[in-house]
Amino acid sequence: MKWVRDPALLPIVEKVEAGERLSFDEGMVLYRTPDIPSLMRLANLVRERKHGQDTYFVHSLRFSQTNICYVGCTFCAFQRRFGEEGAWDWEVDEAIEWVRSKYQPGLTEIHISSGHHPKKPFSYYLELVAALKKNFPGVQVKAWTAAEIHHFSKIAKMGYREVLTALKEAGLDAMPGGGAEIFAERVRRQIARAKVRAEGWLEVHRIAHELGIPTNATMLYGHIETLEERLDHMTRLRELQDESLAKGAKGFMSFIPLAFQPDGNRLADQLGKHEFTTGLDDLRNLAVARVYLDNIPHIKGYWATLTPEVSQVSLDWGVTDVDGTLIEERIVHAAGSPTPQGLTKEALAAFIQAAGRTPIERDAVYNVVKVWAPPAPLMSHQRAMLSRPSSRG
């Protein structure tokens, strides 16, 4: 293999080309190799083997019915206390009116994540899902992280299975992957001490998969974790996905690395730093995930944290999904993300086409909504114009 410069990669390349799974130690070789072009080529090989040139996105509204939260994660700039400036806390009818004011034709997904509210009863969340399904028929509700499901189980004094069954009967279609942060207990004690532990997060997703609720998985990286702890996180996801697929479940639909955003939170102040991940760190992380997580269909290049430009480049580093229009995204923007709070479908499709890939508009559970035109040969100046999406969705 003339294209491989790092001899340590040679046995790994042979295994990947043969469709064999990598060990933990081989995953660490990917994190440490100086041979960046070969890593990119390897991730792209896996990407194109799974999905060819197809690249997915969804027309999605981000919705948080409150930002009241008692958990106090040190990396979060979104949470507020009662009475604090910038706090909101909507009843069901107020939430429906807000969604109605933001609704756009063709919307297929309402993505809900919020705080751990100390006073709202579990019945509130069932009423909210049911009201969203009634008022916006045809729109799928992808709602609440495993951390929030753990919170619901405490306030309702119900097990995870009972909570998820009730939410599914109320209309829940899928779950986002947040709340995972980093599974390593050392890190979790420092950044998310009061949040559900890793075992609880995984158990919520295990039960969701058994109940036929597809989910996603995230990893918040670029703060105090080690590379070994990143790969340990992926290993636990890979093991659970094996288990879910063996039971005939859909399991995790995608893995979404989230680059840490340092503004307005205690963690960045405690560390005394304002610059964290680099573009190369982000791309390497995506490539390692694509090669290592052989049983999860999609790796997301989440443009809200990566920027649209890096997300566009990531399509050559194993990424097959850029998330979506993200109308009104608030959580990562509260922590200083400089990206727009939403892009139009046309802007997303254009930046995918400009990267030489075919845009596939999907719904929350990866049913195909529309196949956009494949990329056409472009003059260099046209490619440059299309590579800078700026329209808000």
pLDDT per position in the chain (393 positions), as tens? 778 999 999 999 999 999 999 999 999 999 999 999 999 999 999 999 999 999 999 999 999 999 999 998 998 888 999 999 999 999 999 999 999 999 999 999 999 988 899 999 999 999 999 999 999 999 999 999 999 999 999 999 999 999 999 999 999 999 999 999 999 999 999 999 999 999 999 999 999 999 999 999 999 999 999 999 999 999 999 999 999 999 999 999 999 999 988 887 889 888 887 667 899 999 999 999 999 999 999 999 999 888 899 999 999 999 999 999 988 777 666 666 667 778 899 999 999 999 999 999 999 999 999 999 988 875 444 444 444 444 433
**Kind of pairing between the strands at 252-259 and 215-221:** parallel
- Tokens (6 digits) for 295: 């049983």
Contact indicator for 269, 284 with CB cutoff of 8 Å? no
| Max intra-chain CA distance, the chain | 63
For residue 257, which amino acid is it? P
- Considering only CA atoms, which of 293, 292, 360, 371 is closest in space to residue 321? 360
The residue written with tokens 């490619």 in the block is 383
Residue 257, strand partner residues: 219
- Tokens (6 digits) for 135: 């008022």
pTM confidence score: 0.92
The residue written with tokens 């009423």 in the block is 127
